[in-house]
Homo-oligomer: A and B are copies of this chain.
Amino acid sequence: MSEKALQYLTDNRNQLLTKLNEFLSIPSVSTDSVHKEDVRKAASFLEEYLTEIGFKNTQQIETQKHPIVYAEYMEAEPEAPTVLLYGHYDVQPVDPIELWESDPFKPEIRDGRLYARGSSDDKGQVFMHLAVFEALMKTTGKLPLNVKVCLEGEEEIGSENLYSMLQEKKELFEADFAVISDSGMVAKNQPTILYGLKGFTGIEITVTGPDHDLHSGMYGGAVRNPIMALSHILSSMKNKEEVVTVEGFYDGVEDLTEEERELIEQVPGEDFVKATGIPETVSEKGYSPKEHTMARPTFEVNGIYGGYQGEGTKTIIPTSATAKITCRLVPGQDPVDIQQALEAHVKKVAPKGVTVEVKKEKLSAKAYKVEPNHPLIEKAAKSYTKAFGKETVYVRMGGSIPVVEWIEDIYQMPIVLLGFGTPDDRLHSPNESFPLDSFDKGMETLVYYWNEVNKL
């Protein structure tokens, strides 16, 4: 059964790539209201494709923002399980546009990679799943298991409406297990089972001093500078050994066991210096960069601004300064508790002479972890190895996928994270791309996997 579908994918590769390019060309940037209609257009693309393939009950579920595309195939053999396939069709913004070598929404293949915003995160991977369903339907007239498809348009902006929709329509989305392809392999063509994800939480700190920019000659010496105050606050939250010094931050965080350290050890190290251009790596005291990125919490300042940013000098004491902070969490940390700990710390260290405001980011997620030897996980590893010709490694990754936590929370079903991205994909950056090897071998993996799990 796998062979015919694989042959179909090979024979129709060009048409499938053409169709994928059509999907990638839609600028479905969820954070930007200018692209509201484009997001909807991408949803419609999926709706049509799913209908063509033979899915039923295909619909766009309206939310307060972008629609969720739903479709189902419930005609598998009697004992076959039901899988919930989750993915997202929205993409990150493209700025800074001037750093892109080609138009982010005019896909181009260069050196074996498909360049476009969303080619890896997540439209390329979503498309692969649909192409595999098309191949199986066209060659065998059926799918090896029942499939419920849930594709949302708000992942990049926090999946605001997904949780309530999953709760509200619990019966509709109910399944035996879930599969998500929105992550990456540790290296190109290296089968990777993601058995853990980090959680997520964030705050924004604004320090305000004077009510208008001040002449620094007239008032320097009487006024607390908001930028200096913010610098002191931030410096008190993480030290130079990369240890977060906010009280309560590490409460409940499990130490890394010897077994975990060994699993981590087996994962091929990424050349962080080469991939990022930094002079050298830096990580939490007592942990290697690999251990910290995979299994320790982080505290990151994503942006900072205040005062004069133009050319040359402007001798002012600015009115305010703001820092945007997000934290990646590990099992044992509750995102709301962490937010409160951050806020309490900021309020405690805030100096006199300024007012300090903490805004709590709405979106958050707990960390996620599944046992590496779960049957569904083992079969995924087997399918990967068959397609890519390499032993599978097991990793915990630094990113967050809030939907994973919510699915576990609402359905308590196993979630298989089957990603095909690679470290050089440049997610969230200019010149995002996806290797064609991932495209081809990834679809092959999925063909094997669906045929494996229907035996469960």
Contacts and interface: CB of A to CB of B under 8 A. Distances in A.
B301 A227 contact: yes
B304 A398 contact: no
Interface in A204-252: 209-225, 227-228, 230-232, 234-235, 238, 240, 242
Contact of A219 (B301, B316, B398): B398
Interface range, A side: 35 or more
A98 interface: no
Interface string A382-397: 0000000000000001
Given A221-B398, A324-B313, A428-B315, A303 B293 contact: no
Interface in A287-338: 287, 289-294, 296, 298, 300-309, 311-318, 321, 323-324, 326, 328
B353 A423 contact: no
Given A302-B313, A304-B321, A423 B218 contact: yes
Contact of A354 (B31, B238, B278): B278
A312 B282 contact: no
B312 A157 contact: yes
- Which among A211, A278, A279 has the greatest number of chain B C-beta atoms within 10 A? A278
A228 B301 contact: yes
A279 B215 contact: no
A224 B311 CA distance: 27
Q: Which of A99, A184, A283 has the most CB of B within 10 A?
A: A283
B318 A398 contact: no
A59 interface: no
A281 B314 contact: no
